[in-house]
Chain A
Amino acid sequence: MKLTRLITIRSLSTRRLRSLLTFFGIMLGVAAIFAINYTNQNAYHSITTLFEGTAGRVNLEIHSAANIGGFSEDILADVSDTPGVSQAVPVLKLPAALPGEMTEEVDLSFFGTDAGGFILHGIQPDLDADIRDYKISQGRFLQASSEATEVVLAEAYAYEHELALGQSFSVVTSQGVAELVLVGLLAKEGAGLTNVGKFGVIELRAAQRLSMREGQIDQIDVVVQVQDSNPDFLAEVRQALGTRLGNEVTVLSPAGQGDRMTQMLSGYQIGLNFMAGIALFIGAFLIYNAFSMTIIERTRELGLLRSVGMTSGQVSAQVVFEGLLLGISGALTGAGAGLLLSVGLTSLMSELMGYDLYTGSIPVGILIGSIAIGIVVTLIASFMPARQAGRISPLEALRLRSHQDEGWLIRYGWSIGIVLLLLSAAVLYINPFPYDVQFRLGSLTVFALFLGAMLVIPVTLRAWQRISKVAVRLVFGNLGTVGIRNLDRARKRTTLTCTALLVGVSMIVVTQGMTGSFSADLFAWMDAYTGGDIFVSAVVPITRNFQDDLEGLSSVETAAPVRYIDVIWLNELEEETISFMGVDAASYTNVTRFIFSDPDISSDQAIEDLKKGNTIFVSSVLSEKYNLHPGDQLKIRTRQDEQYFQIAAVVLDFYNQGMVVTGSLDDLSTSFEIADVNTFLVRITEDSDTTLTIDEIYSRFEDDYQLVIESNRSVRERADNLMRQAFVMFDVLGIIAVMVAALGVLNTLSMSVLERTREIGLLRAMGMTRLQTIKMILAEAALLGVIGAILGIGFGLALTRIFLEAMGAMSGYSLDFIMPVRAIWLGLIVALVISQIAALFPAIKAAKTPVLTAIHYE
């Protein structure tokens, strides 16, 4: 047995190129899987740590009924008295900013825009420290008897703004400027992570005074008596609190908040996982191909081993052992490469989410999992060639290369292929899966689709040769047509290579197609969302009258105030938090426009309706997801009660993932008691300059307001960038898939050339030059590339349409299919270029082989 292992190791080292190819295939697949899972874990971990840390041991949260504004602290006593409640801790939230804290840009992330600033929580130090983990890294925590001006800030925020312990500094709130003294710093954990670290705490009374909200609080955190958080008990307490406190407040579970963020990410992550799966799928092809090749090449050697008494089991074991060695080494290196890849991916995700992701210790489970997947896939892929090797008869050592039998699948598999194609296309189109298993079964169906395509390829090879003959002759000359004849010599190998290219190209087309369809709508909306010329955003909400100040400037034509708040929508099934965009319809339509889903709708009428009040526009996402139409009503919890808003129109709006409605600022003020605004869209006069106007606004209002002002063009450019970044990862995986496909082409052509060494020798003897030899092999590769590209483009387009349909049905994002012309060209060029580059090495090698060596090659 030791000898056979030695033979295996020798075989690996003598066939270096192929060993390397297989090794790379495994490595890339494992790296992709590890990196994606590791990054996903980091993202989830960051989000959950964030919410767990900031929520502490809190079981229930009490907010004002509409989730806006505060309520009287008198309720606190009622809460404490409710049976089952162990602790009730009040919090008052105070948005604030440092005077110098002005950036040139609005922060953009997946979750919208953020003008900066930080949040101050007014707390009762002794109570709060009981339920939340405040870890002081320097100085001390607030004391029950703290001076009113004492503040404890999150460490990173203090460092960032160069605030030293003991220092006195000014903060700006909606009520003006106040002086605070920094007495302690919070470590970046537990409560220190609140509001992604832009956070500080002051004494409750001080907070009330600063915000001029004496006797008011925003939130009560409740800890129940039984700490095993028995869900039934918790529900009972929640019920009791609800009954006792009445309509003015609402009792929520803190756990729900993190869910929304993770949900938003999950779609993106599932997409990435799917791509990684495809990369591995192609990787498995490559490995199978490489092993089949090794077997063909070693037929004589293995036959010889059989003739000297090695059993077929021993021969198979040898091949499987080879697979094991490659699998282990490839998977281990892949895990290392994946670690590097995940660094890039994590920083990309951080960028998208708008805050630094936690990168924990290397997750052993994921590490072992991805390595195991790599090894198992390699073993499975080497199993069939191993069986084939075991069947080699001792006679084959003595025979000259015999014609290889084509399997049943190659000859008759097309019928199964067609059934698979039809079935999977139908399944994808109808999309019968329930939501939660959709992606898994959907991915399986996509695999079935590719498998079907693969089974059909062999019977189409002749047709491809016939169709391409004239073009090949034009490009590569007459010998090119001789070259492409070789494709149906080993149809299995050709099929595998074409399929690998097909999958790679279709991934490019799907990614680009989806991006294209997304961006068309997204950009239209982005254009309206950041309408006008200048985007003015207030760190701390400011009065609506600022509109007059802005319009008072000679360079400003119109300024449209906008205010976003979260509201609770009471639909039939549940309470859903959605965004409410309050606008002043008159000035808003002067600066920008609404994009109505229904082109026939009377936009003037709809805008008039909005001005009248109690009317809203819903986003197309909400409309499709919840089947909402103009004329329907939405029940929203307001400050006093619940109120119905009539839907006047459906508009394109992707703010907060499309969970948004638009209403008037007047409604916001009457129903939700919110009179301030946080954003102005500004249109400047025709002869004014954007930069000069921005400077003018700064210089005029710098002292009074905390503003972040940016030209809309720059906001749009950055939003555009952000979106492209989101798709970069898909591109990276597409490239990995294409790279693996390229390795497959290299593999196939090396094998094809190796098998034909004598034949090429004969052609060379007959006077074929080296250049002609190279061209002949390149022609063969070009046809491989063309088949892969054309099928890949076809499948890519079909999948894009199917995905868009399915997504519309699932999430409400109904997007128009836009023919990705660029992607089609890109796919074609990538497949052709890659196949030519991959073919170059075997072609040159063939051309360089001395004629005599080639003729005598066996």
Chain B
Amino acid sequence: MAVLYTQDLHKQYVLGQHIVKALKGVSLSVSQGEFVGIMGPSGSGKSTLLHLLGGLDQPTSGDIHLADRNISTLSDHQATLVRRRNVGFVFQFFNLLPTLSAEENILLPLIIDGKNLKNYQEALNDILKKLGMENRRHHKPDQLSGGEQQRVALARALITQPAVLLADEPTGNLDSRSGTDMMLLLQRSARQFNQAIIMVTHDPKAAAYTDRVVFLKDGLIADEISFSADDKQPDRLHGIMATQERLER
């Protein structure tokens, strides 16, 4: 069942005297439990797409349906509430508030939503356990490694059980080992929590952990590859790189 789908999504910006067409008609559908990677060269429109999907920006035309609701024409306040309850974000940098402990950072979306935190202790412990962060829960961000910080960010995105989790280059700032760990966690989250995840990345290795990779070029979907659970990592990587090469030509 599609938890998120878009129809003929257009987005254009006015930059000085120029009109930049970032998206020129993107239709995309993502199901519950599906882990989708979005790739493409700089300027292909992948970040723009992610921002539109997360309700951070509004399309020039076209529709976005998230959790059975059209979010393409919401007011700022409505969009804020949609983000709060239906979207989880993991960014490349500055994911955590330095003044709060790991645990408090994870609980932040619930604090924002005015929830009684006592009701979420079990969920919190569960997530911390699954992400292997039980012993680090009271640490401040500056006492955590980059990989640990990103895991806290992931936990924070998952705690509200959002309809979709959006990740913008989540491994971009990590060493390769932490990057691999992060991708495995995302993969597992999609399966264990039946969570829809959309990840924008430059890195073919990261994209190889997804179920499906969507390639954008000049604001349009240029290609798409799907993987089955049995596909091996090197095969996936090969497929992705071959497609990239083909599109670059």
Contact = CB atoms under 8 A, between A and B. Distances in A.
Interface of A: 400, 403, 477-479, 482, 485-486, 488-489, 758-759, 762-770, 772, 851-852, 855
Interface string B33-57: 0000000000000000001001011
B98 interface: yes
B111 A486 contact: no
Nearest to A848: B76
Contacts of A488: 99
B127 to A, nearest CB: 16
Interface stretch (B1-9, B65-73, B88-96, B182-190): B88-96
B84 interface: yes
A855 B100 contact: no
Nearest to B99: A485
Nearest to B95: A762
Contact of B80 (A758, A762, A768, A855): A768
Contact of B94 (A479, A762, A764, A769): A762
A765 B89 contact: yes
Contact of B77 (A403, A763, A769, A851): A769
Interface centre among B51, B85, B95, B97 (most CB of A within 10 A): B97
Nearest to A757: B94
Contacts of B98: 489
A514 B200 CA distance: 67
A765 B54 contact: yes
Contact of B114 (A400, A477, A482): A477
Nearest to A765: B89
A482 B111 contact: yes
A587 B168 CA distance: 95
A486 B113 CA distance: 20
Nearest to A764: B80
Given A485-B99, A485-B100, A486-B99, A766 B142 contact: no
Given A766-B89, A769-B80, A852 B94 contact: no
B108 A766 contact: yes
A774 to B, nearest CB: 13
A766 B84 contact: yes
Given A482-B108, A486-B99, A770-B77, 15 more contacts: A477-B114, A478-B114, A482-B100, A489-B99, A762-B91, A762-B94, A764-B80, A765-B56, A766-B156, A767-B80, A767-B87, A769-B80, A769-B81, A770-B76, A770-B80
B81 A479 contact: no
B112 A768 contact: yes
Nearest to B48: A852
Nearest to A485: B99
A491 to B, nearest CB: 12
A767 B83 contact: yes
B112 A772 contact: yes
Contacts of B156: 766
B109 interface: yes
Contacts of B81: 767, 769
Contacts of B80: 764, 767-770
A482 B89 contact: no
Contacts of B108: 482, 763, 766
Given A485-B100, A852-B57, A766 B93 contact: no
A482 B84 CA distance: 17
Given A766-B83, A767-B85, A769-B77, A482 B91 contact: no
Report the contact-size class of chain B (Cβ under 8 Å from the partner).
Answer: 20 to 34
Nearest to A465: B99
Given A764-B80, A765-B83, A758 B100 contact: no
A400 B97 contact: no
B112 A767 contact: yes
Contacts of B94: 758-759, 762
Contacts of A485: 97, 99-100
A149 to B, nearest CB: 90
Interface centre among B57, B85, B112 (most CB of A within 10 A): B112
A769 B100 CA distance: 20
A773 to B, nearest CB: 10
A446 B142 CA distance: 40
Given A403-B142, A770-B76, A852-B51, A763 B112 contact: yes
Interface in B110-154: 111-114, 142
A778 to B, nearest CB: 16
A542 to B, nearest CB: 79
A766 B57 contact: no
B83 A482 contact: no
Given A763-B108, A767-B83, A767-B113, A482 B54 contact: no
Contacts of B83: 765-767
A770 B84 CA distance: 13
8 contacts: A403-B142, A482-B108, A482-B111, A485-B97, A486-B99, A764-B80, A765-B89, A767-B83
B82 to A, nearest CB: 8
A479 B112 contact: yes
Contacts of A770: 76-77, 80
A769 B78 CA distance: 9
Contacts of B109: 766-767
Given A766-B89, A769-B77, A851-B56, A759 B112 contact: no
Contact of B84 (A403, A759, A767): A767
Contacts of B97: 482, 485, 759, 762-763
Contacts of A759: 94, 97
A320 B89 CA distance: 44
Nearest to A486: B99
Contacts of A763: 97, 108, 112
A482 B96 CA distance: 12
A684 to B, nearest CB: 69
Those 7 A-B pairs whose CB atoms lie nearest each other, nearest first: A767-B84, A485-B99, A478-B111, A767-B83, A768-B112, A758-B94, A769-B80
A852 B56 contact: yes
Contacts of A764: 80
A400 B93 contact: yes
A66 B130 CA distance: 101
A461 to B, nearest CB: 12
Contacts of B95: 762
B119 to A, nearest CB: 14
Contacts of A851: 56
B43 to A, nearest CB: 15
Contacts of A482: 97, 99-100, 104, 108, 111
B49 to A, nearest CB: 13
A770 B80 CA distance: 9
A465 B36 CA distance: 43
Contacts of A772: 112
Interface centre among B99, B104, B109 (most CB of A within 10 A): B99
B33 to A, nearest CB: 23
Nearest to B117: A478
A500 to B, nearest CB: 23
Contacts of B87: 767
Contacts of A400: 93
A479 to B, nearest CB: 6
B172 to A, nearest CB: 13
Contacts of B54: 765
A766 B83 CA distance: 6
Nearest to B109: A766
Nearest to B98: A489
Given A759-B94, A851-B56, A766 B100 contact: no
Contacts of B77: 769-770
Interface string B160-201: 000000000000000000000000000000000000000000
Nearest to A484: B99
Interface centre among A485, A763, A768 (most CB of B within 10 A): A768
A477 B115 CA distance: 11
Contacts of A769: 77, 80-81
Nearest to A477: B114
B151 to A, nearest CB: 17
A231 to B, nearest CB: 71
A763 B109 CA distance: 8
